[in-house]
Amino acid sequence: SKRKRQILSQKNTEILEEFYQSIIRFPYPNQTSRSALAEKCGLTFNQISKWFSNRRNKDK
């Protein structure tokens, strides 16, 4: 069966996008930054990693 797609809240998207824009020259946050963002947003570490991967692909 297919997994249900989770849509992030606007607040979480804004937090992640703001962080992404602050590191735009090298958009690969380290493990500590991803863990802190996961805790701040109430998401898992893997969700944060995937979001950054998808966001980098969006810029291509």
**For position 55, what pLDDT does the model report?**
97
Return per-residue pLDDT of the chain as tens, 60 residues: 688 888 999 999 999 999 999 999 999 999 999 999 999 999 999 999 999 999 999 998
Whether 6 maps to a domain, the answer reads no
Long-range contacts of 9-12 (CB under 8 A, 24+ apart): 12/41, 12/42, 12/43
**For position 5, what pLDDT does the model report?**
84
DSSP 37-48: HHHHHT--HHHH
**For position 2, what pLDDT does the model report?**
82
Whether 59 maps to a domain, the answer reads yes
Whether 35 maps to a domain, the answer reads yes
Q: Looking at the 3D structure of the chain, how many domains does it have?
A: 1
Q: Which domain holds residue 35?
A: 31-60
Which candidate, 26, 46, 25, places its Cα nearest to that of 34? 46
Whether 39 maps to a domain, the answer reads yes
Taking the model in full, what pTM does it have? Answer: 0.90
**For position 26, what pLDDT does the model report?**
97
